[in-house]
Structure 1
Amino acid sequence: MNRKYNQNLANDFIFVSWDQRNCGKSQTDTTVVLTPGLYVEDAHVVTQFLKKQYHRNKIFVVGHSWGSLIGVNLVQKYPQDYAAYIGMGQLVNPGKSEMLARNHVVQQATLRKDTATLAALAKIPFSEAGGYPNGLAGLSQFRMVSDKYLASSEVAELPNPMTLYPDYKALDWMTPVLRTYKLLSSYMDGGKTNLLKQNTFQLPVYLLVGKYDYTTSAELAQQYFTAIKAPKKKMFLFEHSGHQPSWEEPALFRTRLLQIAAANKTN
């Protein structure tokens, strides 16, 4: 999707999109246990390669959704390697965010008298403290039932990415989704992850927030922004976006990245 909606960024930046370990076109290694910590170290290896390859002292990192959890931990551990952190669809507290998403879906389904969705939700137990009792299966079921209420009208009109790029097969798309869901579901248990407790940064921080993001709560992202302590910080609200501002408002996304780059010049 970045190729379709953000291709012009290649005119402004050396724009690198990373397929995480065992995802997309990255080589599969079934001998390792996938953890957020492993992804952080992988991302740092990629960073060192890019710095050397393109003769840069620092690079910018954009973390989206699940990637924003990796991104925060990455730049907090290795701040010297990054000019700024840019969080989009920022994940803050997975358990609380999921509860807010469920509340939103129930509210919208009730307003629309959508008894089928309400009945389906009743069969998918969840608690903020305990997460999904059946882990990955519960999270996957909720997403299947609720996506029509979580996606903004703009993202609902976007084409299926599997139809756009013949070099990526269906398995290339589905494998990262399922692996991310599996990891994410394990972090919805008792507030294991709460970035409000990780609010100190040694580099500039920018949050790009879709006003209608219920997948990773826009409300929590704004709370996180308020709590962040950084040399400088700024939040950009995308008024017509949900969880995918870079696809839903690509021109504004490009403008914001150019502004961030201009404010944090690096070689």
Structure 2
Amino acid sequence: MALFFILLLGFISIVTTLLMVLFSGKMMPFTDASGQVLPGSLSEKSWVSINGVELGMIIKSKNINNPVLLFIHGGPGMPEYWLNESYPAHLEELFTVVWWDQRGAGLSYSTVISPETMTTAQMVADTIAVTQYLRQRFRQDKIYLMAHSFGTYIGIQAAARVPELYHAYIGVAQSVNLALSEELAYEWMLDFYGDDKKNHEQLKKAPYGTTAYERIRDQMMHEAGIGTTHKMYSVISGIFLAVMKNREYMLKEKFHIWQGKAFSKNSVLNKEFRQANLSDLITRVDIPVLFFSGAYDYTVNHHLSEVYLEEIRAPEKHFYLFEDSAHSPIFEEPEAVLAILRELIS
């Protein structure tokens, strides 16, 4: 009996230690070969009062004198810093990177946030206010604005409204017309799964626009290689488990990611996004505009993104198609992305 209790206490001790390691939420600093923190580097999780709410952000930099890059995540309501662990983008090599969690999402999730404030206008206003905070904190007149997927819907509107605050706008998987993009994705998958009787029949029974389709959409896209990344075939292992294993989030913060995603999905913001056509909203951006798209991206149709860029009036614009990527080229082909960004800031 005594041996049993000794073993039980040992097991509890091991589990407790493991949980403390996995869910401590402690930020990992940048260190040199000897394990010393790099001078001038920054690895921070913080909250700032913006437009009446506490907004969370993770800031990573190997040199805080580098240009500031504000990253606007997708979703709506789905932060992406966790993805940087499985697929390092290495953006901190060139920038002080601000992984900001939008109102109601992840580190910024709170039950006190009114659903009425979850609108496009508020998100654009938050983006501009966060930009102003970063300009003041890091003493830089302008910063770089990078947005991904849903974030591009917000980001390009902020860039068009106050171009004087930004050096350039980088749209990764630039959204244009979500309804059309989703319809094209469904048609593409019907063709892709043509010889797969089971999946093809499943799609036919759950046509685009139905609740049944929404239930199978994400997994079907990932299995087809057109989801988050070209080689992420499972939503469970690629997204859910990746979030839950991330050491820099506390357990509570991990739950907030899923709570925030559900909260944002049921918001006015999501309805506005799904009904919008940016071709009708934003036709001019008075700073350099870069679009990064993956050749396998049908989550946001890359053909629509390319056509949209042709329509935009900008002092400088470039479309880059990454041949080995799906929805997230900054994570899938980081070396190629960094080469482009290095030239941009030189």
Matched, 1:226 2:310: yes
Unaligned runs of 5+ in 1: 127-131, 263-267
After superposition, what is the alpha-carbon deviation per residue over 1:88-128, rounded to whole angstroms, capped at 9, x for unaligned? 01111001000111011111111xx22332333234343xx
Matched, 1:212 2:296: yes
Paired residue for 2:283, among 192, 195, 199?
Answer: 199
Matched, 1:240 2:324: yes
RMSD of aligned Cα (Å):
2.5
Distance apart, 1:3 and its partner CA: 4.4
* 1:1-267 equivalences in 2 (<5 Å): 1-6=83-88, 8-28=90-110, 29-33=112-116, 34-110=118-194, 113-126=195-208, 132=209, 139-149=214-224, 150-151=226-227, 153-156=230-233, 159-160=238-239, 161-166=242-247, 167=249, 169=251, 170-182=254-266, 186-187=271-272, 192-197=275-280, 198-262=282-346
After superposition, what is the alpha-carbon deviation per residue over 1:190-217, rounded to whole angstroms, capped at 9, x for unaligned? xx31122222111110001111111000
Unaligned runs of 5+ in 2: 1-82
Q: Which residue of 2 aligns with 1:265?
A: none
The 1:11/1:177 distance shift into structure 2, 3 A limit, reads same
After superposition, what is the alpha-carbon deviation per residue over 1:33-92, rounded to whole angstroms, capped at 9, x for unaligned? 211221111111111110000001111110100001011111111111111110001111
The 1:15/1:175 distance shift into structure 2, 3 A limit, reads same
SS at match of 2:292: strand
Number of aligned residue pairs = 251
The letter for the 1-side match of 2:277 is N
Distance apart, 1:7 and its partner CA: 6.0
Query: 2: CA distance between counterparts of 1:52 and 1:214?
Result: 38
SS at match of 1:117: helix
SS at match of 2:297: coil
Q: Which has the higher strand share?
A: 2
- Whether the aligned pair in 1 keeps the contact of 2:89 and 2:331 (CA below 8 Å) is no
Q: Which has the larger radius of gyration?
A: 2
Identity %: 27
The 1:186/1:120 distance shift into structure 2, 3 A limit, reads farther
- Whether the aligned pair in 1 keeps the contact of 2:175 and 2:305 (CA below 8 Å) is yes
